[in-house]
Homo-oligomer: A and B are copies of this chain.
Amino acid sequence: MDEKLPLRSENFSEWYNQLILRAEMADYAPVRGCMVVRPYGWALWENIQKALDARFKATGHENAAFPLFIPMSFLEKEKEHVEGFSPELAVVTIGGGEKLEEPLVVRPTSETIIGHMYSKWIKSYRDLPILINQWGNVVRWEMRTRLFLRTLEFYWQEGHTAHATEKEAIEETRRMLDVYTDFAVNEAAIPVIPGRKSESEKFAGAAESYTIEAMMGDTRALQSGTSHSLGQNFARAFNIQYLDESNNMQFCWTTSWGLSTRFVGAIIMAHGDDQGLILPPRLAPIQVVIVPIFKNEDERALVSPVVEKVQAELAGLRVKVDERTEVTPGFKFNDWELRGVPIRIEIGPKDVEKGSVALARRDMPGREGKSFIPQTGLKAEVDKTLLAIHTAMYEKALAFRDAHIFDPADYEEFKQVVQNGWAFSYWCGKGECEGQIKEDTKATTRCMPLDQKPGEGKCIHCGDLAHQKVYFARAY
């Protein structure tokens, strides 16, 4: 690397941008606001996909693929939906050299076209529930973009389900929120707060929106996955009906839920340090990098067989041997630190002699993260260390978050704390208070947590009686 990364404490935003480019996670595309996800970034996304997809299938969902193009008239069928999305649309007006009679929207999300298909497929209660997920790309014409966090085109999964009853639809919405929480905690080592969105923050067309909110390394919040109970809004707009057991026509209750490549941004910002990425072991494209250390051909001849043996022993893990000869071991250490590989194993002539290897933990860059491990039984030790790294990363992120969540006594203190943290405060529920707070502080309501105990207090803004607390934070 030519020069050091910017420090997180000095310029978090530049640290983020430069880290992504230098670690070769992504690059800017020649179209404004679009990104190229490079192999290292895409491998991380593929691991996210695998972890989620297994959970979706375990909860009874199947994958399918719906068209990229949606007739403009479809979006107009659900009033709130079109109001929410119409400023952000990319529109195809020419196909095969001819002007189209009806313009086609490049999907910003697929409730409408999937709703249309469900209305064709669903006839009776026996066809329900329909539990379908789609992995794909969507386009939202954003004005201010950031790699992974907000790009014109992004990659995601969108689940769309239809149910016979409201109760089942709400259960599904909450079940998938639980799936996202479980994924964030147990795969990405990111503590998240699952909760309900306020009226102004919910999805365009939803009855209720749920979210998992995570704190980034600069204390800002990132909405990391959402699950929506759509009521009968889309069922009525698209005529998704079924014949119930008593032979009466009923409208379905639908849900949708999504998690996107934005989550890659969450991983970068929740865990990274001034040296670069720190990737959670279960998702890291490379879990262990082996750096052979030798000064000459004799030493190389000594070291190489041990490197091969260790690599074979670690089969089943995602292991890379860095065999580059044009750079020094020191360069390699920095390079893999930048790229956030959880474990580095160094093998030099002395290690060969002692029958051990040097193991360095990415999450503990100092001396305390380094140990010498016997080659015998190495796999068990590496497995144990990967688990320890996952746990330590989670706990560090949790401690950081908890240290930056405040319960301000009044609005003056509130305005202070949300400059460098979150406020967990009573809110009367009025949009005017929410709006004024946003104007005063840039902090928005993030969510009303699900595990909230009953209670009452005074709205942090207007002082009126309030029955719920809500997290306020500046957010990405």
List chain A positions with a Cβ less than 8 A from chain B. 27, 29-31, 34-39, 41-43, 45-46, 62-71, 74, 86-97, 103-104, 106, 113, 116-117, 120-121, 126, 132, 136-137, 139, 141, 143, 152-153, 155, 326
* Alpha-carbon distance A104/B32, docked complex (angstroms): 11
Measured between beta carbons, the chain B residues less than 8 angstroms from A29 are 66-67, 113, 117
What is the chain B residue whose CB lies nearest that of A100?
B90
A-B contact pairs, 8 of them (CB 8 A): A29-B113, A30-B113, A31-B67, A34-B69, A39-B62, A41-B64, A46-B63, A67-B153
Q: How far is the CB of A125 from chain B (nearest CB, A)?
A: 11
What B residues does A326 contact at CB under 8 A? 126
Q: How far is the CB of A106 from chain B (nearest CB, A)?
A: 7
| 16 new A-B contacts at CB < 8 Å, known A27-B121, A106-B106 | A27-B117, A36-B64, A36-B66, A42-B63, A43-B62, A43-B63, A46-B63, A68-B68, A69-B139, A69-B152, A90-B94, A90-B104, A93-B94, A94-B103, A95-B141, A136-B137
Q: B67 touching A34 by the CB < 8 A rule? A: yes
Query: Which residue on chain B has the smallest CB distance to residue A70?
Result: B31
Chain B residues, CB < 8 A from A30: 71, 74, 113, 116
Bound Cα distance from A138 to B37, whole angstroms: 17
Query: Which chain B residue lies CB-closest to A114?
Result: B36
Contacts of A94 in B (CB 8 A): 89-91, 93, 103
Q: Are B88 and A91 in contact (CB under 8 A)?
A: no
Q: How many whole Å from A28's CB to the nearest CB in chain B?
A: 9
Q: A37-B65, A63-B46 are in contact. Are A91 and B93 (CB under 8 A)?
A: yes
> Least Cβ distance of A64 to chain B in Å?
5
Bound Cα distance A70, B104 (Å): 17
With A63-B42, A69-B153 as contacts: A95 and B90 at CB distance below 8 Å? yes
* Interchain residue pairs A-B with the least CB separation, the first 6: A96-B141, A39-B62, A91-B94, A34-B67, A37-B65, A29-B67
Q: How far is the CB of A285 from chain B (nearest CB, A)?
A: 9
The reply to whether A139 and B68 form a contact with Cβ atoms under 8 Å apart is: yes
Residues of B within 8 A of A93 (CB): 91-94
Residues on B with beta carbons closer than 8 Å to the beta carbon of A103: 94
A96-B143 in contact (CB<8A): yes
Say yes or no: A64-B87 contact (C-beta < 8 A), given A69-B31, A71-B31, A136-B137: no
> Distance (Å) between the CB of A205 and the closest chain B CB?
19
Closest approach, in angstroms, between the C-beta of A282 and any C-beta of chain B? 19
Distance (whole angstroms) from the CB of A315 to the closest CB of chain B: 15
CB-based contact B31/A104 at 8 Å: yes
What residues of B have a CB within 8 angstroms of the CB of A35 in the complex?
67
A34 to B74, CA, bound (A): 15
Closest to A53 in B: B46
Are B153 and A68 within 8 A (Cβ)?
yes
Separation of A116 and B106 alpha carbons in the complex (Å)? 24
Decide: B36 and A132 in contact? CB cutoff 8 A: no
Contact call B91/A64, Cβ cutoff below 8 A = no
User: Bound state CA distance, A68 and B107, in angstroms?
Assistant: 12
Contact A92–B91 (Cβ < 8 Å): yes
Q: How far is the CB of A98 from chain B (nearest CB, A)?
A: 9
